[in-house]
Amino acid sequence: MTTSEHCRCLRIGDKAPDFTARSTLGQVSLSDYRGRWVLLFSHPADFTPVCTSEFVALARAADRFAALDCTLLAVSVDSLYSHFAWVRAIHDHFGVEVRFPIIEDPTLILARAYGMVAEAAHDSSTVRTSFFIDPEGVIRALACYPINVGRSVDEMIRTLSALQAADAAGGLAPEGWQPGDPLLVQPEPELDAIFAQKGPTDWYLDAGAGKK
């Protein structure tokens, strides 16, 4: 595996570090997916309860991510052969096929490049992080969960949908926004515009973005 960045703390708006690594679907590079959304997500270890529940749910939701033009990329410290054995066990027990790439990161190079673990860490016990990367390779959202709490696939899809909808309409997704809901309009920071509104909150709480 090679990376183009050293250990750093990544933030929203940063360029996602490129990498090349072995995966269950062959060698992959992040730059191969430029022009599409990418959900890069890590898990602490194969053959663990929470991670298995996540991968079963993600495999079952793969078509929903594909419909949003989003590629799923998984990564953990386990070896490629461990990944193969794990996805076979998932297939045999749950009847689902994990068809998205699972990247091996045994030396934590990728985990450190993305700031998923501390530079001096020797294991992946804190690694359960998701990076939402846009078609330009920019990190647009991220979420980090502890080892004992699993992620929600529905929330991952909601976040991705909200990012795409807000980009398309130039609006803002409010609390609990779901696909098809109206977006809020970007406030106009002009005093005349504020006084011209009928209600006291209309200038900053107008659910009109994207209306036709």
Residues with a known catalytic role: 51
Hey, how many other C-beta atoms are within 10 angstroms of the C-beta on 41? 25
Strands 139-144 and 129-133, how do they pair?
Answer: antiparallel
Q: Is-contact 41 129, C-beta < 8 A?
A: yes
Hey, how many other C-beta atoms are within 10 angstroms of the C-beta on 183? 22
The values of phi and psi at residue 25, to 5°, are -115, 25
List the structure tokens of 76. 């953990």
Query: Which residue(s) pair with 72 in the sheet?
Result: 39
